[in-house]
Chain A
Amino acid sequence: MIEIRDLSLHLGEFNLKNINLAIRDGEYFVILGPTGAGKTVLLECVAGLHRFKKGAIFFDAADVTRLVPEERSLGYVPQDYVLFPFLNVSDNIAFGLKQSRISAAEIRERVNEIAGILGISLLLRRDTRSLSGGEKQRVALARALAPSPHTLLLDEPLSALDLRTAKSLRLELKRIHHQLGLTTIHITHDLMEALEMADRVAVVQDGRVEQVAEPEAMLFYPDGDKVADFIGSPNILDCDYSRNLGQGVMEVGCGSLKLTVAHEGADIKKVAILPRHIYVSETRPPGLSVNGFQGLITAIEPTSNIVKISLDVAGKALMSEIPTYIFDEMDLVVGQEVFLILRMRRIRIYESNR
């Protein structure tokens, strides 16, 4: 267990104010917040890279506040990987192992094992400068994991990658987390990333922890306006009934709307979908459309780079967001009848009674 108690730190333009967090053993803990919220500084405090006067950090029961980084046995992956350019991939991974007194043969064995887990066995002889972003990220992960740390710290591990690589690495990270059972603290500004990966999420804004909750609880019950604003007020629908259709698909009835969702389990009480995951179209979308509806535009509200569109769908009010450049190519006006699709994979489920 990692515990941060009353941590306050003023560092340049960053200000951490009275941070209290407890991360459980084996947990995948995501710290979510906008750029400049102080997330990285917080992670660096856990890693021991900053000294601070107010507050304390505990690993299990031990106070590690005054310990230097090398005494904390953490695996740290900084945002842009920071691979050592004068070492090849294999020597980068072996870097931390060479600090412990183990034989060269054991080091080689461990490097091969870790490279196998991360699927980079073929890259071991390569120069790090010739690697792609996703490969660099895997090497940085391997380097951090090789000395068997008790906790893994990931600073925006996916933000520098292209969408496809980020998606596959997202699954990979979860798989490694399961395989190694490692406590992981993952920083991100991406809400979807947090929702998909986290066991629990801490929302940090302006150096303060605004909410700590399981992803669903945060989405359905944001604590305060700041969190709600950051999440971007999802469309939340109360459900009257749910029915298992098999093969991981359920049907839910939310008033007049009948939705198909990817879920299998207990009764669904509520569903949520973010405005950006509702697609609006003037013409009927081709092909079979799951969760396709028709609705009326009740309001159009342009902001800097997105346009918010309020819709009335069979008596239910929904909000959609589309990028301005796409909106400009369409001819949407208030009162117009449009087609919309609620992306099935993006619909979040809330099961418990609360």
Chain B
Amino acid sequence: MFRILKGASGERIFRTATISALVLLALFFIGIIVSLLAYTKWDTFISALGSSEILSAIRLSLMTATIAAIISMLIAVPVAYAISRSSFPGKDIVDSLLDLPIVVSPVALGAALLVFFNTPLGSAIDDNILKFVFSVPGIVLAQVTVISALAIRLLKSTFDGIDPRYEQVARTLGCSKPEAFFRVTLPLARDGVIASTLLTWARAVGEFGATVMLAGATAMKTETLPTAIFLSLASADVEKAIAVIFVLILIAVAALLIIRKTVGRRYHV
């Protein structure tokens, strides 16, 4: 079947095919952005951007995503290290289980969380400790649930890439196990930690499915940026939706630029 693709002509055809795919995909994204720009009336765009609803959504999104990113890193660093360095029976099962949130639809995760808070244990937590359902902590919990698996995956590959012998040498130089982790492994993982923090943070900013299930979509109360797009379109306010889309794109680009600047090309996601 591949006979006609032999030799120099085959090489040319193959290169043309792969580059065509690349060009088509780039055109697709450029087309979307151009259509957004063409659709926008700039005066209404500016006023939408300055509206108190959008400003509060920006504030809420940045705040919840930052808290969620910090919490998930605090969880992900030890978990990823444990999976990367230790071997125990059933490790493969645990490992696959931790991948579930990456594959399962966020809406399903959010719905599952909502169900959990309707169980006796869940409602006891919700009533007596911290109110999650239809409230701001619910947004953070929904985001953490979705992004921590991603953080673990990214950090695990970082720790996998660090030769355990660095720690062994540190031990022979007088470090205890925790000291060796903090003095050697963590500095070696610096780039990976920075990159995964920013990526999970950006992912948390964009989280919608789980958030809307658990925290709902109450304007000005549990309205994050993606929720704002949903609410704007639901009320046929396209300008406002476009304004929020641009804000989200801006945040994503900023996150990627910061990763490039601080970590450079040493870290590939």
Please state if B170 and A47 are interface contacts (CB–CB under 8 Å).
no
Please tell me if B172 contacts chain A, counting CB pairs below 8 Å: yes
Complex contacts, B188 vs chain A, CB 8 Å? 84-86
Determine whether A75 belongs to the interface, using a CB cutoff of 8 Å to chain B: yes
Q: A69 to chain B: which residues have CB within 8 Å?
A: 168, 171-172
Contact A147 B169, beta carbon cutoff 8 Å: no
Judging by beta carbons under 8 Å apart, are A82 and B166 in contact?
yes
**Contact of A78 (CB < 8 Å), options: B165, B174, B176, B183:** B165
Chain B hits for A143, CB < 8 A: 173
> Could you tell me the distance in whole angstroms from the C-beta of A95 to the nearest C-beta in chain B?
5
Chain B window 212-250, contacts with chain A (Cβ cutoff 8 Å), 1 for yes, 0 for no: 000000000000000000000000000000000000000
Determine the distance from Cα of A69 to Cα of B167 in the docked complex, in whole angstroms. 11
| A86 in contact with B172 given A78-B165, A99-B179 (CB within 8 Å) | no
Q: Is the CB of A82 within 8 A of B165?
A: yes
Q: Please state if B173 and A99 are interface contacts (CB–CB under 8 Å).
A: yes
Asked if A76 CB lies within 8 Å of chain B CBs, one says yes
Q: Answer yes or no: A154 CB below 8 A from chain B CBs.
A: no
User: Is A334 interfacial (CB 8 A cutoff)?
Assistant: no
Say yes or no: is B190 at the interface (Cβ < 8 Å to chain A). Answer: yes
The verdict on A103 contacting chain B, using a C-beta distance below 8 Å, is no
Q: Are B174 and A99 in contact (CB under 8 A)?
A: yes
Point out the residues of chain B lying under 8 angstroms from A82, CB to CB. Answer: 163, 165-166, 168-169
Given contacts A82-B165, A82-B166, is CB(A47)–CB(B175) below 8 Å? no
Main secondary structure of the interface of A (DSSP, over half): loop
Contact of A95 among B163, B173, B176 (CB under 8 A): B173
A133 lies within 8 A of chain B by Cβ: no
- A68 contacts B by Cβ under 8 Å: yes
Q: How far is the CB of B251 from chain A (nearest CB, A)?
A: 30
Q: Which residue of A lies closest to B174 (CB)?
A: A99
Chain A residues whose CB sits within 8 angstroms of the CB of B171 once the complex forms: 48-49, 68-70
The answer to whether A76 and B175 have CB atoms under 8 Å apart is: no
Tell me whether B184 is interfacial, beta carbon within 8 Å.
Answer: yes
Would B172 and A75 count as touching, CB distance under 8 A? yes
B70-128: which have CB < 8 Å to A?
none
A76-B170 contact given A86-B188, A99-B179, CB 8 Å threshold? no
Interface membership of A100, Cβ < 8 A: yes
Over the window 172-204 of chain B, the binary record of Cβ atoms lying under 8 Å from chain A Cβ atoms (1 yes, 0 no) is 111111010001100110100000000000000
A96 close to B (CB within 8 Å): yes
Is A74 engaged at the interface, CB distance under 8 Å to the other chain?
Answer: yes
Which residues on A sit within 8 Å (CB–CB) of B170?
95
When A86-B188, A86-B190 are in contact, do A99 and B175 touch as well, CB less than 8 Å?
A: yes
Closest to A68 in B: B171
- 8 nearest CB pairs, A to B: A99-B174, A96-B173, A69-B171, A76-B172, A86-B187, A69-B172, A70-B174, A82-B169
12 CB < 8 A contacts A-B: A70-B176, A72-B172, A78-B165, A78-B168, A82-B165, A84-B166, A84-B184, A85-B188, A99-B174, A100-B174, A144-B172, A147-B173
